[in-house]
């Protein structure tokens, strides 16, 4: 007669998956159960047969070649075909965090529910980044196109300049929301890395640049002409300072 333990404990015991305690318990059972004792030997025989038969089939050389070739091709393709969207989305939460902090500093916001609100901001950013269709993103290196696109969405005039000749290529723009207010974001590329410049209206006077960092991101923040600018990226800090000067002298 088949033992009830054959389908469970016996397999676990044979595979060494039982705890010491349960294994000892099962060994006591084995002494009295002929069925399990026989089946244990059968399991062992079967394992020997399987090993002897060498059923394991390793990957063929052709498969290894096939895998390696597309991997070399794929990495750049992903980076070239979706660089903007991907970088923007991946960095959205982190960048927004920095911008939110600055926004709060600028507005003197200090609250007990700071953490909860911040978490809400980050979740919002995440949700936004997962929206299909990229309604809030425009990819273009044309100053007028980006400016026109932002004009209809940001509720304040955003100066858009392309600095390709200085090594900061305009890649596009988007609108984001911080503390319930729309902010415009310009995206530049420096040596293949994106730089996000957040821009929002302010009543404060012009201010010199402040710099800081959060995780791997660095930021430069300044105010000019009733607008606050915050450039965030993981590029060299000198590059951020350079971009700040370019924007400041053109604004």
Residues interacting with another protein, by CB under 8 A? 6-8, 10-12, 15, 17, 42-43, 45-47, 49-50, 52-60, 62-64, 66-67, 70-71, 74-76, 78-79, 90, 192-193
Token digits of residue 138: 């425009």
Q: What is the CA radius of gyration of the chain?
A: 30
Of the pair 16, 133, the CB lying nearest another protein is at 16
- For 216, residues 6+ apart whose C-beta sits below 8 A from its C-beta are 234
Of the pair 59, 238, the CB lying nearest another protein is at 59
* Distinct helix (H) and strand (E) counts, the chain: 8, 7
Q: How far is the CB of 207 from another protein (least distance, A)?
A: 33
Q: How far is the CB of 20 from another protein (least distance, A)?
A: 16
Of the pair 36, 158, the CB lying nearest another protein is at 36
Q: How far is the CB of 58 from another protein (least distance, A)?
A: 4
By the 8 A CB rule, do 183 and 199 touch?
yes
Of the pair 152, 192, the CB lying nearest another protein is at 192
Ranges of beta strands (E only) in the chain are 137-139, 169-178, 181-190, 193-201, 207-214, 217-224, 227-233
Q: How far is the CB of 41 from another protein (least distance, A)?
A: 11
Distance CA 153, CA 96 (A): 18
Distance CA 213, CA 117 (A): 21
Of the pair 238, 249, the CB lying nearest another protein is at 238
Q: How far is the CB of 14 from another protein (least distance, A)?
A: 9
DSSP 8-state secondary structure symbol assigned to residue 111: -
């Amino acid at each position: 007669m088949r033992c009830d333990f054959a389908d469970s404990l016996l397999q676990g015991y044979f595979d060494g998956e039982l705890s010491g305690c349960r294994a000892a318990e099962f060994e006591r059972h084995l002494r009295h159960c002929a069925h399990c004792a026989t089946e244990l030997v059968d399991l062992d025989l079967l394992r020997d047969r399987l090993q002897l038969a060498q059923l394991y089939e390793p990957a063929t050389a052709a498969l290894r070649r096939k895998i390696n070739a597309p991997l070399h091709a794929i990495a750049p393709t992903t980076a070239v075909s979706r660089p903007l969207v991907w970088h923007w989305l991946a960095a959205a939460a982190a960048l927004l965090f920095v911008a939110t902090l600055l926004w709060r500093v600028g507005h003197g916001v200090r609250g007990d529910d700071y953490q909860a609100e911040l978490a809400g901001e980050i979740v919002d950013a995440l949700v936004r980044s997962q929206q299909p269709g990229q309604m809030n993103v425009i990819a273009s290196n044309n100053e007028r196109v980006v400016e026109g696109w932002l004009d209809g969405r940001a509720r304040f005039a955003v100066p858009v300049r392309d600095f390709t000749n200085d090594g900061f290529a305009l890649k596009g723009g988007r609108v984001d929301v911080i503390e319930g207010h729309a902010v415009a974001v310009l995206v530049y590329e420096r040596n293949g890395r994106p730089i996000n410049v957040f821009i929002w209206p302010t009543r404060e006077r012009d201010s010199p640049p402040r710099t800081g960092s959060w995780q791997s991101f660095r930021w430069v923040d300044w105010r000019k002409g009733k607008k606050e600018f915050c450039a965030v990226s993981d590029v060299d800090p000198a590059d951020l300072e350079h971009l700040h000067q370019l924007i400041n002298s053109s604004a």
